[in-house]
Amino acid sequence: MINLETPKRFRGLVEQAHGIAVNVFRPISRKYDLAEHEYPKELDLLAAIIDGVNDGGGAASASQLQKDDKSSSEEASGSATKNGGNLATVLSMMELCWGDVGLALTIPRQGLGNAAVAAVGTPEQKAKYGKRWISMAITEPNAGSDSAAIRTSARLEGDEWVLNGEKIFVTAGARSDAVVVWATLDASLGRSAIKSFLVPKGSPGLKVARLDHKLGIRASDTATLLLEDCRVPKENILGSAEIDTSKSFAGAMKTFDNTRPVVAAMACGVARAAVERAREILEQAQAVRGNNRSPWLGSHAEAELCRLEAEVDVARLLTLKSAWMADNRVPNSVEASMAKAKAGRVCTEVTLRCVELCGAAAYAETDLLEKWARDAKILDIFEGTQQIQLLVVARRLLGKSSGELR
C-alpha cells in the first residue's frame, strides 16, 4: 500500500529539486516573466546535469514516465509495491514549480512529447528520440478540450506520412527539437482514427507561425505550428497505424494517465509557494502569529491560511496516489483526472486568495505572489480543463461512454 512519507530513495532528489528552485529559478523568475520569449540560458547547464544523472539512472524526468497494464499473473502473485519514475517526477516537479512553473516547463528535453514517446513509443523510437526535446501538438483552433474534434489529417503516401493542419498553444513549440502531432487518419471515424506522429523540426512543410503572448508562464514559449504537406517517415507513427473502433484512441490518451499527475504536481508546487509566502507577509505584518497557536483562537487570516494549507495537502495526496498507481501498473485514469481537477482548482483559488489576504503587498510586481496568481490559471486549463477531468471521472464511475455522457 502507499506510504504517505517521501520514500527514502527520493529524498535526495527532492532536496536537489528544491535547491534548484531556490538558487536557480527564484532569482531569475521575474527576469524571464518580463522578458517573454527570451530563452533562459541559465537552464542549459541544468539540463546537462539532468541528462548526466539520467544516464546514471538516478533522475526523474519526462522520459521516466512509463506505465504498463498489470497482468492477471502479476496481480495473483501479489508482487511488492514500488516507487518509480512517476512518483519521483511528481515529487521533484512539486519542488521545481515551488520555484517557477514557467521555467520548469522550459527545461530542455523535458517536454510533454518526451512523456508520450516514453509511454507508447517503440524501442527504436525511444533510442532515436530519447535525448531530444519533444513538444506536444494537440490543440487546434476548433478542437480544444475535445481531442476527438481534431481535424489535422494524416495520409500515407508510399513510405511517408503527409500531415496537414494547424496546431495552437504548443508548449516549447519553437524551442523543441521535435513535435508529437495528433492527427486523424479518417475524420469520419472520430476518436478511433486519432493517431500521434513524431515530426522532427526541419521536416518539409512544418513551420512555426507565431509565438503567443500570455497571462502567465511567460518563461515558457507557446507557439502556433502550421503543417502544410508535412512529410515524415512511415515509422514515425507512435503506436499502430491500424484503426480499431473498439479501442478508440486509448493509445494516444494513455499519455495523459502519466502526465496529468505531473501537471497536478505543478499546481501543488505553485499553491504551496503562495501559502508559504502569504504566511511570511502576514506574520511580518503581525496579522498572524505562526503555527504554534490554534488558528481558531486567532485572526480570520490565521484560520483562512490553515484552510488553504489543508486544501493544498488534499491535492498533494491525490497527486501522489495517482503517480504511485502508475508506478505499480494499476489503472489510474480516474485518479489522474481527480488529481488534475482538484489541484488545478486549488492552485487557482489559493493563489488568488493569498493575494487578497496580503493586499497591496501581493498585488504589485515587487512580490512573486502577483506572478503566481497569473501562472496558476493555466494549470487548471492545459492537459484537459477541470470540466473535462470531471467528465472523465463521471464517465468512468458511471460506466458511460463519451457519447452517452457529455
Three-class DSSP category at 201: coil
- The dihedrals phi and psi of 261, each to the nearest 5 degrees, come to -60, -30
Q: What is the dihedral of CA 125, 85, 264, 374, to 10 degrees?
A: -70
Considering 140, 311, 370, 383, which one is annotated as catalytic?
A: 383
Q: Report the C-alpha gap between 143 and 171 in whole angstroms.
A: 16
Name the region of 182 (left: φ>0; alpha: ψ -120 to 50; beta: rest): beta
List the one residue out of 184, 191, 178, 177 whose CA is nearest residue 161. Answer: 184
Contacts of 114 (CB under 8 A, 6+ apart): 61, 62, 63, 132, 133, 134
> Which residue, among 379, 375, 355, 364, has the nearest Cα to 277 in the 3D structure?
355
Give the separation between CA 190 and CA 151, rounded to whole angstroms.
10
Amino acid in position 182 = W
**Torsion sign across C-alpha atoms 350, 354, 357, 363:** negative
- For residue 383, indicate whether it is catalytic: yes
Of how many residues is the chain composed? 406
A 10 A CB-CB count for 382 gives: 21
Q: Which residue has the cell 493569498?
A: 354
- DSSP symbols for 260-314: HHHHHHHHHHHHHHHHHHHHHHHHHTTS---TTS-GGGS-HHHHHHHHHHHHHHH
Which residue type is seen at 401? S
What CA–CA distance (Å, rounded) separates 318 from 283? 30
Q: Rounded distance, CA 276 to CA 305, Å?
A: 9
Cα dihedral 220, 342, 121, 161 sign: negative
Instruction: Find, among 260, 220, 28, the residue nearest to 105 by Cα.
Output: 220
- Which positions are catalytic? 383
